[in-house]
Amino acid sequence: AQSVTQLDSHVSVSEGTPVLLRCNYSSSYSPSLFWYVQHPNKGLQLLLKYTSAATLVKGINGFEAEFKKSETSFHLTKPSAHMSDAAEYFCVVSDQWVGGGADGLTFGKGTHLIIQP
Amino acid sequence: EPEVTQTPSHQVTQMGQEVILRCVPISNHLYFYWYRQILGQKVEFLVSFYNNEISEKSEIFDDQFSVERPDGSNFTLKIRSTKLEDSAMYFCASRPEGPYNEQFFGPGTRLTVL
């Protein structure tokens, strides 16, 4: 069984300051991990994914995340926040690559990122 | 850029009525999914569909739910007799065959059961 814990339901930062959104996971296998973003009234957009290659993963819009197996973490960071980053962020885990099947994703509860001007 | 589309964006129905939520996955994708998000809660997996049959389903996906790919382009979720607790945002997703491919999500359908 797999699960995801997003440690903060809301994070508020000032524009131009760093962003840190925290995520811990548990998985029976070697997981694939994703961060998705949801802007108001929009679908879920993939920011980045980890699939057992490099542990530091770079995504779109300047975001990156580091897979730390010893800490079972996959925190999302960005050096400098922009107003357009305000959205809901979801950490997601999947064991789907193990059997190559169509397993569903397991989502965290989401972190609402607020950017202060 | 290809997108997953969903219709309608918002559906209001009376308890006990049947609803059909529609999705058009990206055309060369082979795996299809439905998820739901009850207000204030996490996104939950409902069902996956591959090769014209259900591949996996969660315990949420009981006999009230069914999925269909009626014509090679649409992918539908039917709720036979809606309950108040079915009110949620429903997301469709698709992905291509092959390893390490992410799921692409539609914008969602907000279902309100009165």
A32 → chain B, closest CA residue: B100
> Measured between CB atoms, does B75 come within 8 Å of chain A?
no
CA triple B40-B45-B48, angle to 5 deg: 155
**Best mean pLDDT range from A17-31, B72-86, B91-105:** B72-86
Q: Where are the alpha helices (DSSP H) in A13-108?
A: 96-99
C-beta neighbour count of B39 within 10 angstroms:
8
Dihedral of the alpha carbons of A39, A42, A43, A46, in degrees to the nearest 10: -40
Cβ-nearest to B33 among A46, A51, A104 = A104
pLDDT of residue A41: 74
Question: CB-CB: which of B43, B55, B103 is closest to A101?
Answer: B55
Distance (Å, whole) CA B6 – CA A13: 33
Lowest pLDDT segment from A26-35, A100-109, B23-32: A100-109
What is the number of helices (H) and of strands (E) in chain B? 0, 11
> What pLDDT does A96 receive?
56
Binary contact (A102, B44; C-beta < 8 A) = no
Looking at the complex, does the CB of residue B33 fall below 8 Å from at least one CB of chain A? yes
Percent helix / strand / coil, chain B, rounded to 5: 5, 50, 45
pLDDT for A38-69, tens place per residue? 988 778 899 999 987 788 999 999 999 999 98
- Residue B70 pLDDT grade (very low, low, confident, very high; cuts 50, 70, 90): confident
In this prediction, residues B99-114 reach a mean pLDDT of 89
What pLDDT, on the 0 to 100 scale, is given for residue A101?
A: 57
- For residue B2, whether the previous peptide bond is cis, meaning omega lies within 30 degrees of 0, is no
Please calculate the CA angle B98-B104-B107 and round it to the nearest 5 degrees. 165
**Which tokens is B47 given?**
């069902």
